[in-house]
Structure 1
Amino acid sequence: MSSSAPAAQAIPTPVHDHRAIMRVIGGIVLCILLAALDQTVVIPAVPAIANDLNGFGHLSWIVTAYLIVSTVTTPLYGKLSDSFGRRRLLMVAITLFIGASVACALAQTLGQLILFRALQGVGGGGLMSLAQAAIADVVAPRQRGRYQGYLATVWAVASIAGPLVGGWVSDYMSWRWLFWVNVPLGLLAMAMCHRGLAMLAPRGGPARVDWLGALLLAVAIVAFLLAMSWGGDVYDWLSPELAALLLAAAVAVALLAWQERRAADPMLPPRLFANRAYVMGVAASALSALNIFLCIFALPLHFQLVRGADASTSGLLVMPFLLATVAGNFIVAWVAPRVGRMRGILTAGYVAGALGLIVLALVTPAVPLAVVLMAMTLAGVGLGITMVATLMSVQNVLERRDTGAGTGALLVLRSLGSALGGALAGTLLTLEFRHALAASGVKQALDLGALRHGSEALAQLSPAVRHVLADGVESGFHLIFAAGAAASVLALLVVRSMPDLELRSSVTEHAATLAMD
């Protein structure tokens, strides 16, 4: 940091007052709610959908189609909003989301529903990225944690409530109401965002869309997400199909790097990746997302396969971890304005996350449940701290012209990290169980992918195999949480080498000077 930067003696006041910011937050919160619910609420309704539409093939695509398309469109919305404005693009995204929700509710075949879910993802991709970018437009980085905490709380509550709501609605009403409810919520979000975001300065500069860059980025994202989704389940990790997908992703990334250097208005401006603070912040954030989804995947299975809990009980036991991540968000909201720098906060978060995961990697079935809950709470608080703190750090060094593109790229890398975390946990569990099964000499044929369905798989196994299962899955969870701890340590090393920049006191202060100091 240069000596010319003024040292803040008090917590600065944001450009907009709290009441004006809350008018923006109200609509954005509804956007976050819609985006979060649509990732989880449909999952428990899948059996009811299959029965109603008489379709039992490719059911996973009801969820996967939305996830892939929303991830692909996230950076496109971010980049276009830098030219055309957040409010205009957010209106487009919400309109598409509502229209596709109506189409999903009216779908008559499984193929139609999958197609309409993909179209819904086109709208959903803008909800999260534009919401985060809009906050960056109206709240100074030093104050941003407070409002990010509100969004994180909504996201966590929606993630917890989504499966419960989806199951209840599909049991007692109709799965179609899961999509109809998006219409009034979407219209309310549209009205609130249109009014609240009116304070933003209009953007109307000419934009030359980098369509080739967008296509190459889409190919890379789709290939990687398909590989993570199919690996160890549909195809073996060493299969030619998985190798082809990963190779396609790598080639697309290489071509994208070439294209972005020559494009007049690149989808991912190369200047972003010349910024050391930005690159390190994005890398650390992706590792945080990897760890959170590794835990979300592994913890319920740990309680079911190691401690004998049923599916409902395991879901309740995971809630302390999810609530702890929200607590971590609010810790950042309270500490960041007072400290004014993020490296120390990030260090504390990754240390806490690593310690919690190390304890989880060492526990055995004989360890009291209270110890497991304390360890996962510590890990949740630490990882919750890092998710908000990395976003604040990254947006702090972005120039205003790059806020949308830079935030969109961060969210995409988080999505890829999340997919990798779930795939890593599932693969380690399956491989360790396979090793234990081979060492025991048990000959019973097994669908190893059934392990991912938790306690439902146990009833189908013989007593001998259950004994092997106990040893294999326990070792698998040790490896999973050890890998998570290693990822936290790696992220810690990354953030310790980041420039410890002062958080800007105004949304209009030029970030480029901070990044160069």
Structure 2
Amino acid sequence: MAVAKADEQRADKQAEPQPRSVRVVLLALMIAMLLAMLDNMIIGTAMPTIVGELGGMEHLSWVVTAYTLATAASTPIWGKLGDMYGRKGVFLTSIVIFLIGSALSGMAQDMNQLIGFRAVQGLGAGGLMVGVMAIIGDLVPPRERGKYQGMMAGVMALAMIGGPLVGGTITDHLGWRWSFYINLPLGAVALAAVTAVLHLPKKERSQGSIDYLGAALLTVGIIAIVLVTTWGGTEYAWGSAVVLSMITLGVAALIGFVFVETRAADPIMPLHIFRSRNFTLMSVIGFLTGFSMFGSMVFLPLYQQSVQGASATNSGLLLLPMLLSMMVVSLIAGRITTQSGKYKIFPIVGGALMVVGLFLMAQMDTGTSRTTSGVYMAVLGAGMGFLMQITMLVAQNSVEMKDMGVASSSTTLFRTLGGSFGVSVMGALFTDRVQEEMAARGGAAAAGATQHSAQLDAASLAKLPDAVREAYQYAVSSGTHTAFLLGSVFAVVGFLAAFFVKEVPLRGSGPQSPDVKAEDEAAAAPSPSGV
């Protein structure tokens, strides 16, 4: 056992690329990652203009939903394809599909075309995120991966902050179609760079054919779940026949998926990866982190715009305390992980900070200053910084190299589904709370102002009478209180789950263990027979 462990660590060390070449490749990967993350931020700012030109206000939500559905449903499939046919070719294919979807979306002539082309774009986006994570898993051993966590956190911060600003500027000066066309030059750079500099070490590939039945059942299950979280409480009541039918379909498809995967010769998502306690825990923690994080990030700008009077154009800057905190903490945690090989403390501390941060944000009201809310956001951001990359690192370290793709895609999928549930459930509670408070404090006139939507834009808010506007601001602060409080409850579950993580040594560089060193010396020593 010790000899095998020594051989594995020596092989990992020999396969490690030089730091300079890794940085060059990572730069290309970060551009591709930026494409997927920046897109939704830019499009969100451009949506009012798009609806104004193409019409189809009743189908507005499907512009986002089609993208989300395609991304979530394709994520596990991209991961498996990378394991089977090689990471580089599959990743380049996903970039091409994303760029085709972007170009077609920019040329859309009506809302139905735009929705269809956004689905194509989302299909490619599913491969972008998984490809980046899996390639990093192939290139950089877990022990060394912490060095580069700050880069990934920085890309997320850049997308969150720059997206709305870039989207607003492009829409105002070049037109909404360039919100999609801007992906083309970035994508061309990513394609050229990945093609030229990405040289992956040869690894054992997963053999066999694609599990089409398993892929179909998983896709149906994911689509049903996302539709439930998208429609529930908004398009349809939670107890409506449509939502209940989607829940039934989703549960049946996922049960069928598990049944098929236990018998498939080459499953699309091998269930044996969940035998690892750490991998299963990281999937759970990733889901809960996505629930709390994405739900919170939806309501923070709304609170600051509606209650604190901030500008919608600069909404990305409002998240700066949280995103900078996340980036700095992620970088520090990564460095410590690289130097020490220890990581169990980070999910625990991160979970605790997320609970505290969300609970503090639940205390915000109409009198909370921007400075105070900024401090609360920094606490939440620190918690996210400890969790965002560590969950992926531990998950990848818990599987064999041939399953790196499905491990990366599964972890990404659980985080995506957690975010979808978080936005939906928090959104339903927020809307109910706002409408209740508006009816209680402002009477019929106030209740009528939020009859169609609990989220009023700046123009609608400015038109309200002073008394109704004050009632709305109180109602929004009350609604965000409920949403953040729910997020803190889910974060508590993630915090408790982190205590059960087992600290398994990370593969790759770092100080050699005494056992490995002894095996190296034994291998080098001559045998008694002189052979």
- Tell whether the 8 Å contact from 1:289 to 1:387 is kept in structure 2 after alignment: no
* Aligned partner of 2:503 among 500, 505, 509: 500
Residues 101, 171 of structure 1: CA spacing in aligned structure 2 closer, same or farther, 3 A cutoff?
same
- Aligned residue identity for 1:458: L
Say whether the 8 Å CA contact 2:203–2:401 is kept in structure 1: no
Equivalent position SS for 1:477: helix
Distance 2:492 2:34 in 1: 32
Preserved CA contact (<8 Å) 1:305 1:470: yes
* Unmatched 5+ stretches in structure 2: 513-531
Q: Is the 2:352–2:383 contact (alpha carbons within 8 Å) kept by the matching residues of 1?
A: yes
Aligned residues: 504
| Alpha-carbon separation, structure 2, partners of 1:104 and 1:129 | 23
Please name the residue that 1:272 is paired with: 273
TM-superposed CA distance for 1:381, in Å, is 1.2
**What's the counterpart of residue 527 of structure 2?**
none
Cα deviation digits, residues 69-97 of structure 1 (max 9, x gap): 12211110101110101001012111222
1:158 partnered with 2:172: no
Could you tell me which of 428, 451, 454 is aligned with 2:454?
A: 451
Letter in 1 for 2:453: A
Q: Secondary structure at the match of 2:60?
A: coil
Secondary structure of the corresponding residue to residue 199 of structure 1: coil
d(CA) in 1 for partners of 2:93 and 2:168? Answer: 30
- Which amino acid is the alignment partner of residue 61 of structure 2? S
The 5 A counterparts of 1:187-206 are 187-201=188-202, 206=207
- Quote the RMSD (CA, aligned, Å): 2.7
Q: Aligned in 2, Cα 1:433/1:73: closer, same or farther, shift over 3 Å?
A: same
Partner Cα distance (1:495, 1:474) in 2: 31
Distance in 2, matches of 1:260 and 1:353, equals 35
Moved more, 385-394 or 310-319: 310-319
Which shows bigger deviation, 423-432 or 73-82?
A: 423-432
Query: Is this contact kept in 2: 1:360–1:478, CA < 8 A?
Result: yes
Give TM-score, length-normalised by structure 2: 0.88
Distance 2:95 2:379 in 1: 37
**Structure 1 residue 506 displacement after superposition:** 5.4
Asked if the contact 2:203–2:402 (Cα under 8 Å) also holds between the matched residues in 1, the reply is no
Residue identity matched to 2:263: R
2:353 — aligned with what? 352
Match of 1:489 in 2: 492
Residues 224 and 204 (structure 1), Cα distance of their counterparts in 2 relative to 1, 3 Å cut: closer
Q: Where does the alignment leave 5 or more consecutive residues of structure 1 unmatched? A: 510-517
Structure 2 vs 1, CA of residues 329 and 173 (structure 1 numbering), >3 Å: closer, same or farther?
same
CA distance in 1, matches of 2:306, 2:475: 10
Q: What does 1:169-188 correspond to in 2, within 5 Å?
A: 169-188=170-189
Against the structure 1 CA distance between its residues 326 and 443, is the aligned structure 2 distance closer, same or farther, given a 3 Å change threshold?
Answer: same
4+ residue stretches of structure 1 with deviation over 6 A?
Answer: 1-6, 202-205
CA positional deviation for 1:65: 1.4
Summarize the alignment of residues 422-433 of structure 1 with structure 2, pairs less than 5 Å apart: 422-433=423-434
CA 1:379/1:13 → structure 2, altered by over 3 Å: closer, same or farther?
A: farther
Query: Where does 1:1-20 land on structure 2 (aligned, <5 Å)?
Result: 15-20=16-21
The C-alpha deviation readout for 1:288-335, integer Å capped at 9, x for no partner, is 111111221121122233334342465432221222222232122222
Q: Deviations over 1:118-172 (max 9, x none)?
A: 1122212111101100000010101112223212211220232122212211111
Alignment-mate amino acid for residue 67 of structure 1: T
Superposed, which structure 2 residues align to 1:93-112 within 5 Å? 93-112=94-113
Q: 1:422-462 CA deviation, whole Å, 9 max, x = no partner?
A: 11221221222333345559334354452224555534555
> Distance between the aligned counterparts of 1:146 and 1:291, measured in 2?
26
Q: Does 1:37 align with 2:38?
A: yes
| CA contact 2:294–2:422 (8 Å) conserved in 1 | yes
CA contact (8 A) 1:36 1:155 kept: yes
Q: Which position in structure 2 is the counterpart of 1:512?
A: none
The corresponding residue for 1:514 is none
Structure 1 residue 329 corresponds to structure 2 residue 310: no
Q: 1:467 to 1:173 in 2, by over 3 A?
A: closer
Matched to 1:422, the amino acid is: V
1:288 aligns with 2:296: no
Change (3 A) 1:362 1:207: same
What one-letter code is carried by the residue in structure 2 that aligns with 1:267? I
Structure index of larger Rg: 2
Question: CA contact under 8 A between 1:102 and 1:179: conserved in structure 2?
Answer: yes
How many angstroms does 1:502 deviate by?
2.1
Distance 1:480 1:59 in 2: 24
2:386 corresponding residue in structure 1 = 385
Q: Say whether the 8 Å CA contact 1:141–1:392 is kept in structure 2.
A: yes
Task: Determine the C-alpha separation between the residues in 2 that align with 1:104 and 1:434.
Answer: 35
Distance 2:138 2:3 in 1: 27
Q: How do residues 39-438 of structure 1 correspond to structure 2 at under 5 angstroms?
A: 39-201=40-202, 206-312=207-313, 315-437=316-438
Conserved? CA contact 2:144–2:509, under 8 Å: no
Partner-residue secondary structure (3-state), 1:476: helix
The whole-number CA distance in structure 1 between the counterparts of 2:379 and 2:18 is: 34
Does the CA contact (< 8 Å) of 1:358 and 1:482 recur in 2?
Answer: yes
Partner Cα distance (1:204, 1:4) in 2: 20
8 A contact 1:35–1:128 mirrored in 2: yes
Give the aligned residue type for 1:417.
Answer: G
Percent identical residues:
33
Contact 1:232–1:449 (CA<8 Å) still a contact in 2? no
1:334 and 1:177 mapped to 2: Cα distance? Answer: 39
Give the direction of change, closer, same or farther, for the CA distance of 1:260–1:318 in structure 2 (3 Å limit): same
